Every structure is written in C-alpha cells, then in structure tokens.
Amino acid sequence: MLNFMKYEIKGSIRYIGIIFITMILLSTFVLTTADINNVPRTIILSVISLMGGNIAILIHFVNSFSKEVYEDRGYLTLTLPISGDKIVLSKLLVTLLWYGIYSIIQFIFIYFILNKYSQILEQPVFTTMLSYGKEIIKSPEMILLVILSIFQLILFIMTVYFSIAISKAALGIKKVGKLIAFILFLLLNTGISYLNVLIERVLPFGVQFDIGRFSERSIMMNDIAMNATNEPFSINIPSIALNIILFILFLFTTGYILERKIDL
Amino acid sequence: MDFDNNIPIYVQIIDYIKGNLVKEEINAGEKLMSVREMSEKLKVNPNTVQRAYQELEREEITFTKRGKGTFVTEDNNMLIRLKRELSKEIINSFISNMKELGFNKEEIVSIISEELKGRDHDE
Amino acid sequence: MSKIVEMKGLSKSYMNKIALKDVNLNIEKGKILGLLGPNGSGKTTMIKILMGILTQSSGEVYIDGKKPGTGTKAIVSYLPDRNFLYKWMKVKDAINFFNDFYEDFDMMRAKELLKFMELEENIKVSKLSKGMIEKLHLTLVLSRRAKLYILDEPIAGVDPVAREKILDAIINNYNEDSSMIITTHLVKDLERVFNEVAFLKYGEIVLTGDVEELRVERAMSVDEIYREVFK
C-alpha cells in the first residue's frame, strides 16, 4: 500500500505543486500590499486565493478517483495485486496529506495577515481574533478540533469516492454517471448530517468545550457562539463513533465495488 | 525461412533440417541448435521445434546426449539413405511431371544426359 | 497443478446481451493458446474475468487452482489493448512501477528488453508512437516471471518492424512452466506461435484444438480456418 501511495504522490505532485506555488505567490502579494486603505480588497483577495486552493485540490482528488474507474488507467490500477480497500485508503491518505499541507499554509497566511492588520490598524477586533486564536491553538481542546475537522474531511472524501464508484458500477456511462454521482454525493452528505443530528439528540453524551474559560476577550466569542447555537460548544461522542463506523463502511464497500463490480 | 501454414510446421522443420544435412550445411556428429535457439531463428513455437526434434530422433537421424543437446548421427549409412530418400522424392516428382508433358522413358534419359553435358561445358 | 487455467461452464450475460455462454476451456502449463474471434465475440470479457476485474454470471474459473482475485493478479501478467500507463510516467517510471508492485518482475530482463526494443528510459510515455508504446507494454509484461501471460491484441496497429520485435520477444519469453493466452484477429502473423487455438463466436467456443493437428485434419492454415469459421 505504501508503494501505491508513493505513486499517487508522484502523479499528483506536479499539479498540486503548481496550485501551492500560485497560491503562495498570490497571498504573498496580498500580504505585502495590504495596508489601511485596502482592507476590503485584501480580505476578498485572501479569501479567493485560499478558497481557490481548496477548490483546486477538491477538483484534483475527484478527478483522480474518477479517472481510475472511467479511463484506461483503470486497467493498470485495478489489475494490481492490491485489494480495493487499500487502493481507496491510499488515495484518501494522499488527499489528506495535500489538504493538511495546504491547511498549514493557509493558517500561516491568515496569521500574518491578521498580524499585519492588528499592527497597522487601531481596531481591537483583529487583535482580539489573533490572541483568541493563539490561545485556542495552544489549548488541549485544539487537538480535538483538529481531529474533528479531519474526520469531517475524511467522510467528505469517502462519500465522493463511494458515489463515483457506485455510479460507475451501476451505470457505466461517463456523463450520466458523473451526474448521478454528484446527486448521490449530495444525498449521502445530507443523510449523514441528519444521522449525526439524530444521534446527538438521542444520545447526548458530549464533551463540553468551554470556550469561556480562556480569557475575557474570549467570553465575547463565547457569547457569539452561544447566540448562534444556544448551547455551549460541545462534541458528541456517539456521533464520533457513528462517523468512524460510516468511514469503515464506505471504505470496505467502495473497495469491494472497485474489486468486483466495476466493468471497465 | 518461409513456412506454409497449410501443412504442419513441424514436418516442414524436419524437412528443413534433413535438407541441411544432405547439403552438408550440418555435418555428421554435429550438434543441432537448441530447441530454443531454433524456435527463435524460425520464429515458431518451441513445442513445434521439440516435436520435430523428437521425430528426427525417432527416425534415428539424431540422438540426444543428456544435458548436452541433440546431435546428428555419425552413422554415414544413415545419411546416405537420407540423401537417397530426399532425392527419390525429387526424382519421382520429376518423372511424373515429364510424363505428363508427354515424354517417354528414353526421351527422359536423353534429355537429362544432354542437359548435364551442357552444364559441364559451361563450368 | 498442470492446468494453469480452468474454465467450467463459464457464462456472462448483461441486461441485453449474452457475452459468454457455457465456456469450457483449459490451458496447461507451457502452452500458448490463441484465442480467436472478431470484435464482440467475448474474448475481452473472458480475459477480464480471468483477470478478476469482472465477475461471471455463472460457472467456475481457476487460475493455478485459485479463484481470480488479488492473489492471482500477482501471478498473471496482463497486456491490455489500451494505453493503461499513467500519463505522467516516463519509461523508467513504468519499469520501476512494475518492479515495485510485482515480486516476479525481473529488472535485468526488463533492461535487456528495453535495449532490444530500442526504448529510451527518459522519454515520457505520452510522447511515444503507437509501435513504441506496444513495445513498452510488452517489455513490462514479459519482464515478469508470471505463471500466465495474457496478451490482448499485442500486434494490432503496429508497424511490421515493431511487429517482428514483439514476436521475437514473445517466442524468446517462452518457458515450460508458464502459459500464454494471445488474442488477435491477425491470425496469419501469429499462428506459428500458437500450440492450441480456441475460436470464440458470439460468446461460445465453436472450435478448439492443437494447431498442427488442425492443419493436418483440414489441410488449411489457421488463418483459413478462421475465415471459414467466421464467414
């Protein structure tokens, strides 16, 4: 499986490299030209460049999996002596790798931009966000947040893979297949969200994430959070378990489909 | 070598080797090419060459020395007989063709003598 | 196990058509089988089932005694009639790829074959001509010491010079412990390489046999038999 990951990385590094470099250049430009007069422009450009990178990676990993089932390269991948679930897992891990590196790059830029603005502007909001952010990062609950986000991402990617695989297996035709895959993906994600909400209601064993304890400033943030959700920030354990189960289900089902049900 | 795909290839290989023997392109006691080498040279399946070799051995034209390969017999009588055999086919076919053209025995003999004499002069 | 491939009552049907019908075919060690038939006769379907990338509707398939799956993929070397290499690869990437994934890959043999086929390691696969791609594909497939080789149309659309090289490589690769299935509709070029042939018509085997025996029985070349069977 490591071998397969090695070649996944080799195959995607060119495209991903271009995305990263473009995004870094763009953000550097935005950063260095940011000043008092162009706050809105800076914010918009930052958002575009950051989101652009995310979308580009998304497009890449969707296409990468699509190609395996719709194009000739499937004749190589699916005849390798490696089980379907390992293929899926490898592709997942490499995608996570790219998202992970990209997230770090994004955070670095956000930090620098907030930093710059908190220095040149007299408004407390940036300084607040910055120090609040710094405290969260240093807190132990940060790890949970990161893990949660990774879980979200993993399930997101797995639903994409599963939708693509099953529509190809059921239909075989490229254009219709991709459309059906997309619809299925939307349905699955809606379904999963619904399941999560259901579980939270039925089995509310959560871990409280008390934002309020950090500092005065963060009490303000807590108020915002509380106003939005009417509850203190919490993480529901059974829902994590549900997501893990769903992940395993998707992994082995998609793997099975790849091995036995795809007619290239 | 050009093969006719309508008749078994192994038969043609046997004829080819016999022909080489008679023409003394392979000599008595000499080692034949290995099955693999022969199959690569003739561009045929090695099993086919193997079959030809087996048949040649059955006819006692060749024999196998374990671990060393397939060798042409050293029995000169064998080779003389082979030469006769091959020439017999040619002669039979020649005589039949000539007869079809309408020549009789005496005419056939005199035509051959003349032809051979003529060739002697040219050489 | 002297039978490398066993197919018993193999059938495959789709919603609107029958691709394979009750196929019974065995291939022994050391044999090269020509699988002959026009497009759509079921050759590719049969191959996909042997490769384990398609499941049959009914019947049994065994590769060296095992059902097709991840295990058999490690002992079967397959040459598809597609450009299956990843587009970003160079020749040397493809070689290293096969070396990494297949234990039976012989790197020395691969280098020899590359030289024989006159292929440069640093060229991008996307820049190769059709003939060169086929030669590369064949190099990759034949550099594995597999139990079964499946070559799907190895010389179609390839120029005569490349064809010669490919044929030479196939004959040279022969060994008594492995078997080969070659599908083609260019029967004339390949019939001397086959031990046995099987004719597939509309998903059914209509004729099989030893090639030399067929020549004797019918006083025809396999090419001519093909024309008769499929006219």
For chains B and A, having 3+ Cβ pairs within 8 Å is answered no
Q: What are the phi and psi torsion angles at B69 (to 5°)?
A: 130, -170
State pLDDT tens for residues B13-29. Answer: 999 998 888 888 888 88
Are residue B108 and residue B55 in the same domain, yes or no? no
Provide the number of structural domains found in chain B.
2
Is pLDDT of C26 > 80?
yes
B40, B51: one domain: yes
CATH code (residue B19): 1.10.10.10
Q: What is the rounded distance in angstroms from the CA atom of residue A48 to the CA atom of residue A28?
A: 13
Binary contact (B5, C212; C-beta < 8 A): no
**Cα C220 from Cα C210, distance rounded (Å):** 13
Average pLDDT of the residues of chain A? 83
What lies within 8 Å, CB to CB, of B102 at 6+ separation is: none
Q: Is B3 on the interface with C (CB under 8 A)?
A: yes
Give B37→chain C minimum CA distance, Å. Answer: 9
Which of C174, C216, C223 is nearest residue B46 as measured by Cβ atoms?
C174
Q: Is C40 left (phi over 0), alpha (psi -120 to 50) or beta?
A: left
CA–CA distance from C111 to each of B99, C95, C107, C145 (Å)?
61, 9, 6, 14
Chains A and C touch (3+ CB pairs under 8 A): yes
Residue whose C-alpha is closest to residue C110's, from C84, C135, C78: C135
**Average pLDDT over every residue of C33-62:** 93
Provide the whole-model pTM: 0.87
Q: Which pLDDT value is given to residue C178?
A: 93
Query: CB-based contact (8 Å) between B65 and chain C?
Result: no
Q: Which chain A positions have a beta carbon within 8 Å of C101's beta carbon?
A: 3, 80-82
A80 in C contact zone (CB under 8 Å)? yes
What letter represents residue A11's amino acid? G
What three-state secondary structure class fits A156? helix
Which residue's entry shows tokens 């619904």? Answer: A194
Same domain flag for B97 and B48: no
Q: How confident is the model at residue C208 (pLDDT cuts 50, 70, 90)?
A: very high
pLDDT of A35 > 90? The answer is no
Task: Indicate the angle between helix axes C160-173 and C130-142, nearest 10 degrees.
Answer: 0
**B62 and B86 belong to one structural domain:** no
The encoded tokens of residue C165 equal: 């090289």
B57-100 tens-digit pLDDT: 998 888 888 888 888 888 888 888 888 888 888 889 899 999 99
**Facing A79 at nearest CB: one of C53, C88, C100:** C53
Chain C residues in contact with B51 by the CB 8 A cut-off are 212
Nearest to C139 by CA among C185, C184, C107: C107
In terms of domains, do B66 and B82 share one?
Answer: no
Q: Identify the bridge partners of residue C166 per DSSP, sorted by sequence position.
A: none
- In this structure, are B69 and B86 located in the same domain? no
Copy the structure tokens of residue A71. 């194009």
Give me the pLDDT at residue A69, please. Answer: 92
pLDDT tens figures, A84-106? 999 999 999 999 999 999 999 88
Spans of all domains in chain C: 3-229
CA-CA-CA-CA dihedral for A229, A235, A241, A247, to nearest 10: 70
Residue B42 in contact with residue B13, Cβ under 8 Å? yes
The full length of chain B comes to 123
> pLDDT (tens digit, 9 = 90+) per residue, C88-121?
999 999 999 999 999 999 999 999 999 999 999 9
Classify strands C18-28 and C3-13 as parallel, antiparallel or unpaired. antiparallel
Higher pLDDT, A138 or C7: C7
Structure tokens at A91: 């592709």
Q: What pLDDT is stored for residue A231 in this prediction?
A: 47
Please give the pLDDT value at position C50: 96
Question: What's the average model confidence in pLDDT over C62-69?
Answer: 95
Handedness of CA A143, A146, A150, A156 (dihedral sign): positive
Which helix (H) or strand (E) segment holds residue A127: the answer is helix A124-138
pLDDT of A221 over the 80 cut: no
> What would the two tokens of residue B91 be?
């002669």
Contact A161, A91 (CB under 8 A): yes
Same domain, B30 and B13: yes
| Burial profile B13-48: b = 16 or more Cβ within 10 angstroms, e = fewer | bbebbbeebbeeebeeeeebbebeebbbebbbbbbb
Task: Give yes or no for residue A211 having a pLDDT over 60.
Answer: no
CA distance C79 to C162: 16
Same domain, B61 and B113: no
For chain A, how many residues are written? Answer: 264
Say how many CA atoms lie within 13 Å of A65 toward its Cβ. 32
Residue B35 sits in which domain range? 9-74
Confidence of residue C216 (pLDDT cuts 50, 70, 90): very high
Judge: A14–C53 Cβ closer than 8 Å, yes or no: no
- Alpha carbon of C225: minimum distance to chain A alpha carbons (Å): 32
Flag whether B1 is in a domain.
no
Residue B2 domain flag: no
Which 3 state secondary structure label does DSSP give C71?
Answer: helix
- Measure Cα distances from C50 to B47, C47, C62, C170, C205 in Å: 25, 5, 8, 20, 16
**Mean pLDDT along residues C164-184:** 92
The verdict on B42 and B83 lying in the same domain is no
The per-residue DSSP string of B78-94 comes to HHHHHHHHHHHHHHHHH
If asked whether residues B101 and B66 sit together in one domain, one would say: no
CATH topology of domain C3-229: Rossmann fold (3.40.50)
Q: Across the interface, do B9 and C195 touch by the CB < 8 Å criterion?
A: no
Find, in chain B, the residue whose alpha carbon is nearest to that of C212: B8
pLDDT digit string (tens) for A130-152? 777 777 677 777 777 788 889 98
**Full strand arrangement of the beta sheet holding C3-13:** C18-28, C3-13, C58-63
Residues of chain C whose beta carbon is less than 8 angstroms from a beta carbon of chain A are 48, 51-55, 69-71, 73-74, 78, 80, 82-88, 93, 97, 100-102
Higher per-residue confidence, A89 vs A28: A89
Q: Rounded mean pLDDT of C140-162?
A: 93
Look at residue A61 and tell me whether its pLDDT is greater than 90.
Answer: yes
pLDDT of B102 higher than 50? yes
Answer whether residue A229 shows pLDDT above 60. no
Angstrom distance (rounded) from CA C222 to CA C199: 10
Residues in A touching C87 (Cβ below 8 Å): 73
Average pLDDT over chain C reads 93
Residues B46 and B22 in one domain: yes
SS (HEC) of B10-78: HHHHHHHHHHHHHCCCCCCCCECCCHHHHHHHHCCCHHHHHHHHHHHHHCCCEEEECCCEEEECCCHHH
Predicted pLDDT of residue B20: 87
What tokens does A72 get? 């000739």
Contact yes or no for A263 and C48 at CB 8 A = yes
B39 interaction partners in chain C (CB closer than 8 Å): 171, 174
A238 close to A199: Cβ distance less than 8 angstroms:
yes
Instruction: Let me know if residue B32 belongs to a domain.
Output: yes
Amino acid at C107: M
Q: What is the pLDDT of residue A224?
A: 56
